[in-house]
Amino acid sequence: PSGVKNIGKDAFRECSSLKKVTFSSSIDEIKDNAFQGCSSLLEITIPSGVKNIGKDAFRECSSLKKVTFSSSIDEIKDNAFQGCSSLLEITIPSGVKNIGKDAFRECSSLTKITFPESIKNIGKTCFYGCKQLEISGKIIPKDAFHSCSTLNEIIISSNITIIEQDAFRECSSLTKITFPES
């Protein structure tokens, strides 16, 4: 219904047969654990009024392949998509300033990520468990891939101009970095 403003904490947690969610445009907040463990959920589109995605909001949604973010989001909180092992690629919308720790941890199928220039902070081990990533944007922020011990290959797009301090620190399995020609 159009009168619903937020999806509360644990509202649909562990609804393991849930495959599809269509949000109304009136939703402005998805709270902690709202869809955690919805292991059959395939795709979501975050409505345009949502400012942040709560802690563990979509954690362990293991069938989730696609997330379309609205441009109004400014924060993705800790563990928001942790364990979404079928997620293939994400584009963080411009306006997002903070991505919490472990937000995309154990998203083992994730192969492509695009960062906006607005990113100021990415929590440690945000992409822990990702093995091969193509990275686009202008900046790879501080600590973005810190301690991603399973990351073994990265492709840095030609539009990246800055790789900040500790961006790939302690990536102990990293065997190949490709900087393509522009």
d(CA 113, CA 116): 10
Residue with structure tokens 């959920």? 41
For the chain, what percentages of helix, strand and coil (3-state, to nearest 5) are there? 0, 25, 75
Mapped onto helix, strand or coil, the DSSP state of residue 99 is strand
The b-or-e profile of 99-114 (16+ CB within 10 A means b, else e) is: bbbbbbbbbbebbebe
The per-residue pLDDT of the chain, averaged, comes to 90
Strand duo 162-163 + 66-68: pairing? unpaired
Retrieve residue 114's tokens: 């695009």
Residue 131 scores a pLDDT above 90: no
Regarding pTM above 0.85, the answer is: yes
Q: Phi then psi for 52, rounded to 5 degrees?
A: -145, 155
Rounded to an integer, what is the distance from CA 125 to the centroid of its chain? 12
Q: For 70-121, write each residue's pLDDT tens digit.
A: 888 999 999 999 999 999 999 999 889 999 999 999 998 998 998 888 888 8
User: Which amino acid belongs to residue 125?
Assistant: T
